[in-house]
Amino acid sequence: MICAGIDAGSRSIKIVLLDSVTQKGIATDIADQGVSQEKIARELFKNLLRKNKILKNDIVRIVATGYGRNIVGLVDTTVTEITCQAIGVGRLNPDAKTIIDIGGQDSKIICLDGKGLVRDFAMNDRCAAGTGRFLEVVASRLGVKLDSLGGIARKSKSPALISSMCVVFAETEIVGLLASGAKKEDIVAGVQSAVAGRVCSMAGQNIASPVIFTGGVAKIRGMDMALAAAAGKPVRISPEAQFTCALGAAIIAANNGKTL
């Protein structure tokens, strides 16, 4: 029998299927979020089952998490992304003490105790600074692809100082830097540093090692190094960095809805 975890994030929907007995992964899939979140989730789930030749009756429990978890109607229950992220990261990174999760519309710092349980957390879901959205704006303004930002930043020898913590004002600042002849690579490196600083500032002095990096922004090269510089500690990208929250939901489903 099989359990499923659905992470209905602000920018994408992720699904993880687990064997309900062994809790080993069976399949994963991801789709861009849209206006009809419920429809997208259902189609993604249906296609994932079809591709893996799994019958709907084989699914014994489904847990949803994430920004749109209450919109997904095909689930048995919902659990917050903070809890799911801690469980998913703990499964893949048992030594984790701090989780830095940066998605398209929010960012989180989750502090764990020695047993992998959530001790404290901080979230930024009201300002685009410190999220993937900021990086998208920069990529658009510079006329480059989002996934190329890391490669561009690596060429920088003098990162620009981005002082504005509001995306609107920061974009204006970037326009001014371009007009003054600043190099693209210095601007991108400066933006990565600004995002990292904004995220790490949420935790104050509460960043304990090992630090694990998750979320869609973890796919952008160089962001782990920028976070490490801001935190003053090594930062490790989690395996399956985009799927850790969905994995946590699937693990909870396999444990009959229990989070412990």
pLDDT digits over 67-106, tens only?
889 888 889 999 999 999 999 999 999 999 999 999 888 8
* 150 and 122 both lie in a single domain: yes
* 74 and 166 both lie in a single domain: no
260 belongs to a structural domain? no
Instruction: Give the DSSP per-residue string, 131-150.
Output: SHHHHHHHHHHHT--GGGHH
9 belongs to a structural domain? yes
Element (H, E) at 118: strand 118-124
* 24 and 75 both lie in a single domain: yes
Give the angle 210-211-217 at the CA atoms, nearest 5°: 155
* 142 and 202 both lie in a single domain: yes
103 belongs to a structural domain? yes
Burial 223-260 (b: 16+ CB within 10 A, else e): bbbbbbebbebebbbbebbbbbbbbbbbbbbbbeeebe
* 134 and 172 both lie in a single domain: yes
- Pure H helices in 59-116: 81-92
* 72 and 175 both lie in a single domain: no
* 146 and 219 both lie in a single domain: yes
- Domain span holding position 210: 95-237
Number of domains present in the structure of the chain = 2
Q: How many CB atoms lie within 10 A of CB 93?
A: 21
Element (H, E) at 169: helix 167-179
* 209 and 247 both lie in a single domain: no
For residue 49, the domain's CATH number is 3.30.420.40
259 belongs to a structural domain? no
* 196 and 157 both lie in a single domain: yes
55 belongs to a structural domain? yes
Residue positions counted in the chain: 260
* 108 and 204 both lie in a single domain: yes
pLDDT digits 0-9 by tens, 38-72:
899 999 999 999 999 999 999 999 999 998 898 88
pLDDT digits 0-9 by tens, 169-202:
778 888 899 899 999 999 999 999 988 988 998 8
* 217 and 250 both lie in a single domain: no
**Paired strand residues for 101:** 108, 214
pTM: 0.92
181 belongs to a structural domain? yes
Contact 212, 93 (CB under 8 A): yes
165 pLDDT higher than 70: no
* 112 and 81 both lie in a single domain: no
22 belongs to a structural domain? yes
pLDDT score recorded for residue 24? 93
Q: Rounded to whole angstroms, how far apart are CA atoms 156 and 154? A: 5
166 belongs to a structural domain? yes
